[in-house]
Amino acid sequence: MDYSLVAGFLVTLSLLLLCIERSLSSDTQRIPRIFLLAYGGGVVCWLILGVVINNSALVLISSLQAFFILLFSALPLRST
């Protein structure tokens, strides 16, 4: 069993649930931008590592997380 895929799925699911919760509420300003920058920077590093070591699970999960971070960071802009 590929535990990296399971771990990545769980982390991505938690980020997705956070995005859904924040998009349903009107209070999207509570999530600080520094969180999005730090988390997004980490995801980009993992994505680069996945490409370098040719790990498809890491590339897939990191790409999904990057998409959700971009989507999540656009929510406060849309609600104002």
* Cβ neighbour number for residue 72 with a 10 Å cutoff: 22
Measured CA to CA, the distance from residue 13 to residue 33 in angstroms comes to: 20
Query: Which of residues 52 and 68 earns the better pLDDT score?
Result: 52
pLDDT single digits (tens) 2-56: 676 777 777 778 777 777 777 677 665 666 677 777 778 888 888 888 899 999 9
Tally of domains within the chain: 1
pTM for this prediction: 0.65
Query: Which of residues 76 and 9 earns the better pLDDT score?
Result: 9
Task: For residue 15, give the CATH number of its domain.
Answer: 1.20.1280.290
Tokens representing residue 33 in the block: 């931008």
Name residue, tokens 């988390």. 39
Q: Which amino acid is at 66?
A: A
pLDDT band with cut points at 50, 70 and 90 for residue 70: confident
Question: Any residues with CB less than 8 A from the CB of 61 and at least 6 apart, and which?
Answer: 4, 5, 8, 9, 11, 12, 46
Structural domain containing residue 43 = 3-79
Tokens representing residue 9 in the block: 């799925």
